[in-house]
Amino acid sequence: MRLLVTRPDEDAGGTIAALEAMGHEAIASPLLTIHPIADAEIPDEKWQAILITSANGARAAGAHPDFETIKFIPVFTVGTASAEAAREAGFASVTTAQGNVETLTALVVSRLDPSAGPLLHIAGSVIAGDLKGGLEQHGFQVERVTLYEAKVAGHLPEAACEALMSGAVDGVLFYSPRTAATFAALVKSAGLGAALKPVMAYCLSQPVAEALDGLPFRDVRVSEEPGQGALLSLIGN
């Protein structure tokens, strides 16, 4: 199969390699670009733990000038990809919730004590879910620091346009509601909606699928779990 991968370049490499190992052809079509905010200030606090909800957040933390001051603080991540990125960035202690914001909230509540100190949430400029609000309901103090910005593309990547217009796309992979919504807007703007009729959409979660509402995909399939392994299992060999 020929599949569009809509992830940012920083995240797409592993996905493309996995698809090629399965015998598919992957077409890189990033709809977001990641821009670290190097001058963002990380407050000097006695943090109980750090919460990371994306691989890009982990990478941005690792590249931050103050990383050495936080690298030994325990880290809790939303999923496997963010956990791997946190370890690669140099964090010494990483635990993953292997799910979404809700499972991360539950993990933190079960492992940490609100009275033991504040939590640092490393995030991007656009946030999915309300991790801070959910934890504050359980008495935790959470401070969010924005270390990167994810900017949406102004038009569909040329490779994606050419593949859709020529009928050379069998499916599109979507990992976030924002990416899916961006794809929907750009496809409509380019007048390529009809090109999606023979195309499958593979979505990481139900909110991702809902962001594609109105597009005439042949079918929209949703992963049973919010992880890349489960998403790729929808495609098969």
Mean pLDDT, rounded, for 62-85 = 94
Domain ends where: 151, 173, 190? 151
Domain ends where: 121, 151, 181? 151
Angle between the 55-63 and 9-21 helix axes, to the nearest 10 degrees? 130
Number of domains in the chain: 2
Residue 162 clears pLDDT 70, i.e. is over it: yes
3-state helix, strand, coil in the chain (%, to 5): 40, 20, 40
Length of the chain in terms of residues written: 237
Domain ends where: 151, 170, 198? 151
Q: Are residues 44 and 138 in the same domain?
A: yes
The fraction of the chain above a pLDDT of 70, given in percent, is 100
Mean pLDDT, rounded, for 73-90 = 94
Domain holding 124, by residue range, is 34-151
C-alpha span between 143 and 163 (Å, rounded): 43
Q: Residue 237's pLDDT band (boundaries 50, 70, 90)?
A: low
Which residue's entry shows tokens 């590249």? Answer: 63
Taking only the tens place, the pLDDT of each residue in 2-54 is 999 999 998 899 899 999 999 999 999 999 999 999 789 999 999 999 999 99
Q: Are residues 138 and 39 in the same domain?
A: yes
Taking only the tens place, the pLDDT of each residue in 108-144 is 999 999 999 999 999 998 877 789 999 999 999 999 9
Q: Are residues 38 and 11 in the same domain?
A: no
Residue 178 clears pLDDT 60, i.e. is over it: yes
